[in-house]
Amino acid sequence: MYCAECRGEFRPGITTCPTCNVALVEALPEELRPIGGDEPTQPVGVSGTRGLSRLVVVDGHSIDLMRAFIFEEAVELARTLEGVGLAVRLKEVELDFPDKKQRFTVETRPEDHQRAEETLFLRWKRLAESEGTGAAGETAVDKCPACGSDVPLDVEECPDCGLVVGRGEDEEEEEEEGEAGGPA
C-alpha cells in the first residue's frame, strides 16, 4: 500500500497514511512512482536550458551552481517538482566545497527532464522578477548564490565562501558621493 501524497510505502493492513491523513492506494501512478536506485536520471537546473549558469571550480571539477544546491534549496526544488507530479531524486555532489556545505543535484527521469527544467525555470523567473519590485534599500542583506549565506550589501565578497558578489548600488553611490565631497 502506498500514499499518493508522500509516496510512502506501508505494510498490508494499513489503510491511511499517518502523516498525510489520506487513504492509501494499491499502486502509485507511473508519474508518482519513486525513482529506483539503478534507474537513469538527469540533473535539472533552476535556469532551465536557457544557457544561464554560475560555474565554479571545486577540486578541479567545474560545477554549475544553478544545478548543485545546498540541501535546503534542493529539498525546496524537489517539492516544487513533486507538486507538479514529477518524481525526483536528490544526489549528493561528492566534492569538498570551500564553504564546507554539501551540495546536491535534483534529478528526474530523462522523459521528465524537459518538463522539470521548464517548471524550475518558470519558478526561477518569478523569483527573479519579484526581486526587483521592492523599494531600494529595503533589504540590508542578500544571499550568496554559491553558499546561501547572508551577505551584507555593502561588501564585495561573501564572508563565508569568498565568492565575489559585488556591492549594492546604493552603497556604491553613497561612497562615491562621500569621496567627491557631495551631500552626506
Q: Per-residue pLDDT tens for 19-74?
A: 878 888 888 766 667 788 889 999 998 765 555 556 777 778 777 777 888 899 99
Q: What band does 171 get if pLDDT is binned at 50, 70 and 90?
A: very low
Question: CA–CA separation, 115 vs 176, rounded Å?
Answer: 46
Q: pTM for the full model?
A: 0.54
Helix then strand then coil, in percent of the chain rounded to 5, is: 25, 20, 55
- How do the domains of the chain map onto residue ranges? 1-31, 35-129, 140-184
What's the confidence (pLDDT) of residue 53? Answer: 58
